Amino acid sequence: WGEAAGLVLASGLFGAAHSVNRTYATAAAVVGVYLGTLYQITGGLLGPILTHAVYDFLALVWFLRISPAIEASLPTATAPVGRAAPSDHSAGPPASPPDPEP
């Protein structure tokens, strides 16, 4: 089958392993072709590994920069996280009835 078939198969598997959605899987498969070609040219894994690491680092920096904007656009809760909203069925003993007036 040869190197070309191996490159196509490995790139397809790389895309499948990164399949967040169809578009990202396709883009990852294209990156897989690039990384595989880089391996074939250099004869070693250092180039593809460093390229993948740089991409992952840049993606992390990008995500951390846009994450506050995404969080700010989300609706806010009415009660703080970890606290239940008041209800008629609160935990604890029932309150005693008021004393009757004389």
- Whole-angstrom Cα distance, residue 8 to residue 32? 9
- Confidence label for 79 from pLDDT (cuts 50, 70 and 90): low
Residue 3 burial (C-beta neighbours within 10 Å; 0-12, 13-18, 19+):
exposed
Question: Is the pLDDT at 14 greater than 70, yes or no?
Answer: yes
pTM beyond 0.85: no
- Confidence label for 97 from pLDDT (cuts 50, 70 and 90): low
